[in-house]
Chain A
Amino acid sequence: MLGFLVGEAFRDLRRAGRVAVSAVVLITLSLGALGGFWLVSSNIGRAVAKWRDQVRIVVYLKREPSAGDAAALLERVRGMPGVAGVVFIGKADALRSLKQVLGKDAGVVDQLPANPLPASLEVTPSATAVTPDGARDLLTRLAALPETDEVAGGGDWVERLAHWQRLLATIGLGVGAVLAVAAILTVTTATTLILHARRHETEIMRLVGASELTIRLPVLLQGMLQGLAGAVFALGALVITHSVVAPRLEPLVNLTLGLSQIVFLTPLGVLALLGTGTLLGGLGGWLARAGREP
Chain B
Amino acid sequence: MIELHRVSKVYSVGPVKVPALREVSFRINKGEFVVLTGPSGAGKTTLLRLLYRDDIPSEGDVEVLGANLVGLGRSQVAALRRSIGVVFQDSKLLPVRTVYENVAFVLRVLGTPRREITARAFDALRAVGLSARAQAYPAQLSQGEAQRAALARAIVRRPPLLLADEPTGNLDESMAAEIVAVLKDIGAGGTTIVLATHQARLAATLRRRTLTLGGGRVVKDEG
Contacts and interface: CB of A to CB of B under 8 A. Distances in A.
Determine if chain A interacts with chain B: yes
A76 interface: no
Interface stretch (A118-126, A147-155, A174-182, A198-206): A198-206
A114 interface: no
Contacts of B52: 207
A207 B94 contact: no
Contacts of A101: none
Contacts of B108: 1, 4
Interface stretch (A132-140, A210-218, A269-277): A210-218
Given A4-B108, A204-B106, A214-B109, A209 B94 contact: no
Contact of A207 (B79, B81, B83, B95): B81
A203 B92 contact: yes
B74 to A, nearest CB: 6
Interface residues of B, number: 23
A58 B76 CA distance: 79
Chain A interface SS verdict (over half): helix
- Give the interface size class of chain A: 10 to 19
A208 interface: yes
B94 A208 contact: no
B157 A208 contact: yes
B80 interface: yes
B13 interface: no
5 closest A-B pairs by beta carbon, nearest first, are: A209-B81, A209-B82, A210-B109, A209-B78, A1-B111
26 contacts: A1-B111, A4-B108, A4-B109, A200-B94, A200-B95, A201-B94, A201-B105, A203-B92, A204-B92, A204-B105, A204-B106, A205-B109, A206-B78, A206-B81, A207-B52, A208-B82, A208-B109, A208-B110, A209-B78, A209-B82, A209-B83, A209-B84, A209-B110, A210-B109, A210-B110, A214-B109
